[in-house]
Amino acid sequence: MSVIIPFGKSGMPLHADLGRAEVLESRVGELKAADTEDGLVLAAMASPIDSPRLRELAAGKKTCTIIISDHTRPVPSKHIIPVMLSELREGSPGIDVTLLVATGFHRPTGKEELVDKLGREIVEREKIVIHNSRDASGNVQIGTLPSGAACVIDKVAAQADLLVAEGFIEPHFFAGFSGGRKSILPGIASRTTVLANHCSEFIADLHSRTGILEGNPIHKDMVWAAKEAKLAFILNVVINEKKEAIYAVAGDFEAAHIAGCEFLSSLCKVDAKPADIVISTNGGYPLDQNIYQAVKGMTAAEATVKKGGVIIMLAKSNDGHGGEGFYHQLADEPDINKTLKLFLSRDRNETEPDQWQTQIFIRILQKAAVIYISDASDELVKDLHMIPAHSLDEAMEKAEAMVGSKEASVTAIPDGVSVMVIE
């Protein structure tokens, strides 16, 4: 077989003796982009959906904040931000622009990570602010979410004359899709707002799943927050396995986002192929830098693994567990059912950091055992209720022993965050 399973910045081959494996892949990789990445962005900016051009929105404005993705998101910002800056200054030559890094609940993005994302010229020339969800002094309440929680966002965004955002659209394991309104919530929202939006009630809702927007309570709050923040314009892209833009959409944050989601859905919906053993990944770097993020790729496997089966998850995890709350919620309590019961008993305003990720991970562990291939220590992997392995050969040997057959059915998902597996 010629299938390569992404791992960090390289990958691992799916060996020929796994020829029996069903392979679930999106068709994004088959799509031939209509233009270069720069060309796609320019074309989208020239024909925005349900919106004037960005240069028209900028006319007469003194300040603008562009929300940009952080180091965990493979958005090809080098091809997006220069075009957005050019249009803004064409519409308002003296406009004061700030790039606001949407860290959400992630660690701050470092300078070299910004250089890698934006290029050194932009990093040295432009004003850049890193959002801090925990800094009360840097955030301001702009209203109350439909769910009843306070909607608090970064002052740099709230106080701008014009607020716009870049981003990318991919399937998202509880928000339905990334992109669009997610630049606001959780991107530049406060700790309080993110926690309430990611409450156990919403995470448990059957509409809070990959590829679902309608009826999704998490999405509903996110859209409200973006409207209240006055997000005026977005430029979102769809990327291939090489992290290159193959499609771009711009304009109204709702209409343009929906157009992008519909385009992506046509390429990445796949039917489940139930199997005893399911191999999945987070698509390699940069989304597989920690175990916390790797839960996303596991949800694709969850949708097709048989009850009582085994998931083999590959994620380099060079940054370790990725969340203190996530780690301790799992490592400090051996009974995952007890932990889940505790989460479900909490009010949305009592949600603790990382609880949502732990809740989803427990749901996965209740269905299947997880063998984890990574650079993380065996001790860390075991602390998180998984079985460590360091190669596909080793993981397959363990998985076959666990299901009791060397002829066990196998499904491989080379990129678990790029597909929507339909059960």
At 20 the pLDDT is 83
- Positions marked active-site: 106, 172
Domains of the chain, by residue range, sit at 4-24+272-422, 37-267
User: What's the sign of the alpha-carbon dihedral 298, 352, 216, 103?
Assistant: negative
- Does residue 382 carry a pLDDT above 80? yes
* Strand positions, DSSP E, 259-396: 269-271, 275-281, 305-314, 369-373, 387-389
At 152 the pLDDT is 98
* Tokens read off for 224: 């409200």
At 16 the pLDDT is 61
At 3 the pLDDT is 77
Q: Which helix (H) or strand (E) holds 65?
A: strand 63-69
Express as a percent the part of the chain with pLDDT over 70: 99
Considering only 29-38, 72-81, 93-102, 117-126, which range has the smallest mean pLDDT? Answer: 29-38
Helix (H, G, I), strand (E, B) or coil at 31: coil
The one-letter code for the residue type at 348 is: R
pLDDT, one tens digit per residue, over 285-305 is 888 999 999 999 999 999 999
At 128 the pLDDT is 98
At 34 the pLDDT is 86
Average of per-residue pLDDT across 163-175: 95
Assigned CATH topology for domain 37-267: Rossmann fold (3.40.50)
pLDDT, one tens digit per residue, over 302-349 is 999 999 999 999 999 999 999 899 999 999 999 999 999 999 999 999
- Does residue 1 carry a pLDDT above 60? no
Average of per-residue pLDDT across 103-117: 91
Question: Please, what is the angle between helix 355-367 and helix 291-302, to 10°?
Answer: 40
At 356 the pLDDT is 96
Give yes or no on whether 4-24+272-422 and 37-267 have one common fold: no
Please give the residue that has the higher pLDDT: either 3 or 102: 102
- Highest mean predicted confidence (pLDDT) among 146-160, 234-248, 282-296, 409-423: 146-160
Average of per-residue pLDDT across 225-249: 94
CB atoms < 10 A from the CB of 138, how many?
Answer: 17
**CATH level 2 (architecture), domain 4-24+272-422:** Alpha-Beta Complex (3.90)
* Tokens read off for 384: 């998180």
